[in-house]
Amino acid sequence: MQEKFYLTTAIDYVNGAPHIGHAYEKILSDVIIRHKRQIVDNAYMLTGTDEHGVKIQKTAAAKGITPKELCDENFSKFDQAWKELEISYDQIIRTTDEQHRKVVGQIFKKLLENGDIYKHSYTGLYCSGCEAFLNPKDLTEDGLCPDHLKKPEEVTEENYFFKLTKYKDKIAEYIKSHPDFIQPAIRVNEILNQLENIEDISVSRTKSSVQWGIGVPGDETQTIYVWIDALSNYITAIGYDVENPSDKFKTLWPADVHVIGKDIIKFHSIYWIAILMALDLPLPKSIFAHGWITIDQSKMSKSLGNVIAPHDVLVSFNLEKPDAFRYYMASAALTGKDGNYSDEDFKEKVNADLANNIGNLLNRSLNMLVKYFDGEIKPEFVSDKNDKIAVLASNTKCQIIECFNKFEVAEAANLIVSFADSVNKYVTENAPWTLAKDGKMLECGKVLYNVLEAMRHIAILLYPYCPNIAQDILIQLNEKVDFKYDNLIWVGLKPAKITEKEMIKPVFLRLDSEFATDKKKGK
């Protein structure tokens, strides 16, 4: 039994409001941590916001407010969005938190004293969008930043540099000897290739360039740059201190997984790992890089006007609970691949999987139990664990655990739907209505028991994606709401009168395409 599981998300830059891409990562992370809580007692999720840098400084100045006021304003938007999506984080860190600022200063000082940081005059190509110096070979043919399609400016500064090259061989050796460290595996060669041409990195900027940040200890002319500031949140949040780390840090670190977007995998699997090596700290067990979410097959862009806020999707479809959106986003892309959001696909998928498949299966099974047995499961209906559906339930559970061990969130969702498909097929093949018509009530009762017990399993398996729907399923089965995997044993549903006609309600209403279209048009 695993004693703990510590998951972190990337921290979001609060230069604007959250969009569907931010939501995708947080939902993925939340589904993983909810699954782990079903198995591990101490499963902990950290998320947060990145609140320093020149972009925030400039945006705040343009709005006539202080950088901290801008950060406070936008932080509240992110935090509200995660509450609305029921992201069950245990802690949310802000890089403007005083404790974080203090420990980042300690980290910088220690690296400097150890000889891992040195001061150096440097001329390079700086992209304000990336807030990073770019290598000329990484630019487009027109000399533009490939992400922001803008020409970086040539900047000459005297900054502090971290000796990244010192750890190059050690990082490569570690990656090669730990095949599960970078996931999915398709990213490994990408990182190893980037390591080949790695250079030392700037870890400070002059105060004249970046005022909004954490000052370099003992040097009033410099501001600590993003790499040490932002990346260190994973340890400062849980009580890391250079001299006296907390018991919480000792318990949770190393992280079991950093969940990040594929665009920042280099910083996590090279820069962050080198910093940890320099601090002589254990390395995270894995780094999972997810893909991007496009909108109607186009990359999100303010200029295209296709940036969608998660709140707008909930409002557009009149969703009081976020389960349908959570399920769709979590199953939008196979591991590491890009996914796509469209209104039409959203409606079709959640209607097919949640309403027609899972919801309808529960509804008609409970109605038959009421019709034929007054809502009662009799002792003689309870089947043994060797039943076809019982074996399939056990196999599905094991496959889902294996999927989550590899962070295959969409694949695990597909297994749940596939299991529900099999149970629906089982109902059709065994036709309990025909058995009742022919007077074979014992056989009819056994079939219905198997279906409802399977529904109990489906509720527990579905919980990380759809916590409210899962709870409603267990309530309709008159079951205690407990989603621990310890409860995934066959014949958990005990003989009793579990329901009456008036208690049976759909656990998920179909999204009405006409209504949804009208809502978008503002009718």
Q: Respond yes or no: is residue 71 known to be catalytic.
A: no
Integer CA distances (angstroms), 5 to 43, 171, 209, in order:
5, 24, 40
Q: Which of 375, 318, 368 is nearest to 347 (CA)?
A: 318
Domain boundaries, position 423: 342-513
What residues have CB less than 8 Å from 352, skipping those under 6 apart? none
Q: Respond yes or no: is residue 457 known to be catalytic.
A: no
Asked whether residue 6 is domain-assigned, the answer is no
Q: For residue 491, what is the DSSP state? A: T
The amino acid present at 206, given as its one-letter code, is: T
Asked whether residue 317 is domain-assigned, the answer is no
pLDDT of the residue at 142: 86
**Contact criterion met (CB below 8 Å) for 506 and 365:** no
Give the CATH number of the domain where residue 460 resides.
1.10.730.10
Q: For residue 500, what is the DSSP state? A: -
Catalytically annotated residue among 137, 302, 480, 521: 302
Q: What is the pLDDT of residues 130-175, one digit of tens each?
A: 777 788 887 888 889 887 788 888 888 899 999 999 999 999 999 9
What residues have CB less than 8 Å from 284, skipping those under 6 apart? 234, 254, 255, 256, 257, 258, 276
Tell me the three state secondary structure of residue 222: strand
Asked whether residue 391 is domain-assigned, the answer is yes
Q: Respond yes or no: is residue 145 known to be catalytic.
A: yes
pLDDT of the residue at 305: 65
The distance from CA 340 to its chain's CA centroid, rounded to whole angstroms, is: 16
Asked whether residue 493 is domain-assigned, the answer is yes
pTM of the entire predicted model:
0.93
Q: Which of 382, 354, 356 is nearest to 498 (CA)?
A: 382
**Contact criterion met (CB below 8 Å) for 152 and 127:** yes
Asked whether residue 409 is domain-assigned, the answer is yes
Catalytically annotated residue among 68, 102, 120, 148: 148
Alpha helices (H) in 269-408, listed in sequence order: 272-278, 310-316, 323-330, 343-350, 360-373, 388-405
Catalytically annotated residue among 26, 52, 71, 145: 145
**Contact criterion met (CB below 8 Å) for 242 and 107:** yes
Catalytically annotated residue among 83, 102, 120, 299: 299
Domain count, the chain: 1
Backbone angles phi, psi at 10, to 5 degrees: -65, 150
Task: Collect the ranges in the chain with pLDDT lower than 50.
Answer: 513-523
Backbone angles phi, psi at 86, to 5 degrees: 55, 45
Catalytically annotated residue among 36, 71, 127, 397: 127
Q: What tokens does 461 get?
A: 């398996």
Q: Respond yes or no: is residue 258 known to be catalytic.
A: no
Asked whether residue 460 is domain-assigned, the answer is yes
Find the farthest-apart pair of alpha carbons in the chain and give their distance in angstroms, rounded: 90
pLDDT of the residue at 522: 37
What residues have CB less than 8 Å from 405, skipping those under 6 apart? none
pLDDT of the residue at 523: 35
What residues have CB less than 8 Å from 86, skipping those under 6 apart? 30, 321, 322, 326, 467, 468
Residue 153 is inside which H or E element, if any? strand 153-162
Asked whether residue 255 is domain-assigned, the answer is no
The amino acid present at 183, given as its one-letter code, is: Q
Catalytically annotated residue among 55, 58, 119, 130: 130
**Contact criterion met (CB below 8 Å) for 270 and 198:** yes
- C-alpha gyration radius of the chain: 26
Q: Respond yes or no: is residue 178 known to be catalytic.
A: no
Q: What tokens does 153 get?
A: 């400016």
Q: What tokens does 515 get?
A: 């209504």
Q: Respond yes or no: is residue 444 known to be catalytic.
A: no
Q: Which of 49, 52, 5 is nearest to 29 (CA)?
A: 5
Q: Respond yes or no: is residue 148 known to be catalytic.
A: yes
Q: What tokens does 269 get?
A: 């699997």
Residue 288 is inside which H or E element, if any? strand 287-290
Asked whether residue 4 is domain-assigned, the answer is no
Beta bridge partners of 159: 120
Alpha-carbon torsion, ordered 129, 337, 402, 485, to 10 deg = 70
